[in-house]
Amino acid sequence: MIRIGILGAAKIGPKAIIEPAAKRDDCEIVAVAARDADKARTYAEANGIAHVETDYDALVHRKDVDLIYNALPPHRHADLTIAALEAGKAVLCEKPFAMNAAEATRMVDAANRAGKPLIEAFHYRFHPAFLRVLEIVRSGDLGAIKTMEAVFNVSIPYREGELRHTLELGGGALMDLGCYSVHMIRTLADAEPDVLSASAQCDRPGVDIGTKAHLGFSSGASAIVECSMAEDVDRDIRLEIVCKDGCVSLLNPVHPHRGHQITIRQGGHERTETADGMITYEHQLAHVMDVMAGRAVPLTGGADAIGNMAVIDAIYAAAGLSPR
């Protein structure tokens, strides 16, 4: 039985790990930590969690915890993930992995020293819908990749304390939404891109509410990454890959369990598919359990996580903003 401790009484916790864990018989949530004692107790009672800590380090060092789920904002990913690894715990760390590539490197180095899994929570990556698109592209049936476009636009209005609008916490559209788009493009290309150009719109100093970047690969392929959390933006979440002999697209790649469509166009013909699957977070936890049991190697984290943060850093620099 894998015993899980949660860092942060986060809104994402129930759907991301508490509910998926409740459906399994090989793991359980045993403790949660939050600095606000009342919030921690309320969260634990609402979610059936037996133990509460008001100190993050105390949770990290609990002897009855095997896996830490770091659901805190990005500015607390590096220090607490490293502390957890050094305490002998495996870690599932929320996206974006870190504030920047330098922090990501330190986290991965700590995982390597500890010999413990460190997995980035890109839940979409484990769903059969994305795996099917990846299979189509990598089969070579459509030929080499020419261009790609990954868009994640969803309104996240400003409010006081909203982490996505707070620079010091690791906020910004690229950090919260665009990290998915960058990851999809890199995974499909199976290569690291150069940032050819980038632009960003900010309504507060340093915090992008919208970012667009043009990426290039040594193969000659190129990609557009677009993300926006502007209050008036229309919801648009899609992935499109144009290859030499055809193209494939995935509508709603981030949450395909809420409805998705795969469209393949080749030789003047078009067909659509869907991929049966569970909630993305259930596939993610299944992968984490497989990794911890030695049945699989991590699909995220490691060099992949460093690479993703390096591209995010480079996009910010190209857009005239400072990396986090």
Give one DSSP letter per residue of 181-249, joined into a string: HHHHHHHHHTSPPEEEEEEEEEEETTEEEEEEEEEE-TTS-EEEEEEE--TTPPPEEEEEEEETTEEEE
Domain end marker among 73, 93, 121 = 121
Query: Residue 201: its pLDDT value, please?
Result: 97
Domain match, 200 and 307 both: yes
Q: If you write DSSP's letter for every residue of 51-117 in order, what string do you get?
A: EEESSHHHHHT-TT-SEEEE-S-GGGHHHHHHHHHHTT-EEEEPSS-SSSHHHHHHHHHHHHHHT--
In terms of domains, do 12 and 100 share one? Answer: yes
Is 324 part of any domain? Answer: no
Number of structural domains found in the chain: 2
Per-residue confidence (pLDDT) for residue 248, from 0 to 100: 98
Residues 81 and 151 in one domain: no
| Last-in-domain residue among 121, 156, 185 | 121
Domain contains 323: no
Residues 116 and 128 in one domain: no
Distance separating alpha carbons of residues 152 and 230, to the nearest angstrom: 12
Q: Provide the residue range defining the domain that includes 197.
A: 124-318
Co-location of 256 and 128 in the same domain: yes
pTM of the model: 0.96
Quote the CA–CA distance of 206 and 200 in Å, as a whole number.
10
Residue 166 in domain:
yes
Token pair for residue 104?
A: 């990501």
Same domain, 263 and 158: yes
Tell me: do 70 and 188 sit in the same domain: no
Evaluate whether residue 178 is within a structural domain: yes
Q: Domain check: are 92 and 152 in the same one?
A: no
Distance CA 90, CA 175 (A): 24
Assess if residue 61 is contained within a domain: yes
Which residue, 121, 152, 179, sits at the end of a domain? 121
Residue 6 domain-assigned (yes or no): yes
pLDDT computed for residue 161 by the predictor: 80
CATH number of the CATH domain containing 193: 3.30.360.10
What pLDDT, on a 0 to 100 scale, did the predictor assign at position 88? 98
In the set 63, 89, 95, 212, the catalytic residue is: 95
39 catalytic residue (yes or no): no
Q: Are residues 132 and 218 in the same domain?
A: yes
What pLDDT is recorded for position 67? 98
The predicted pLDDT at position 146 comes to 98
Both 146 and 18 in a single domain? no
Contact assessment for residue 323 and residue 317, using Cβ atoms and an 8 Å cutoff: yes
For residue 67, CA distances in Å to 64, 176, 251 come to 10, 24, 33
Judge whether 135 lies within some domain. yes
Whether residue 268 sits in one domain with residue 132: yes
Same domain? For 77 and 213 the reply is no
Cβ burial, residue 41 (10 Å; 0-12/13-18/19+): middle
User: Domain with 73 in it: what CATH number?
Assistant: 3.40.50.720
Local mean pLDDT, 10-residue blocks, the chain (324 residues): 97 97 98 94 96 96 98 98 98 98 98 98 98 98 98 94 92 98 98 98 94 98 98 97 98 98 96 97 98 98 98 98 92
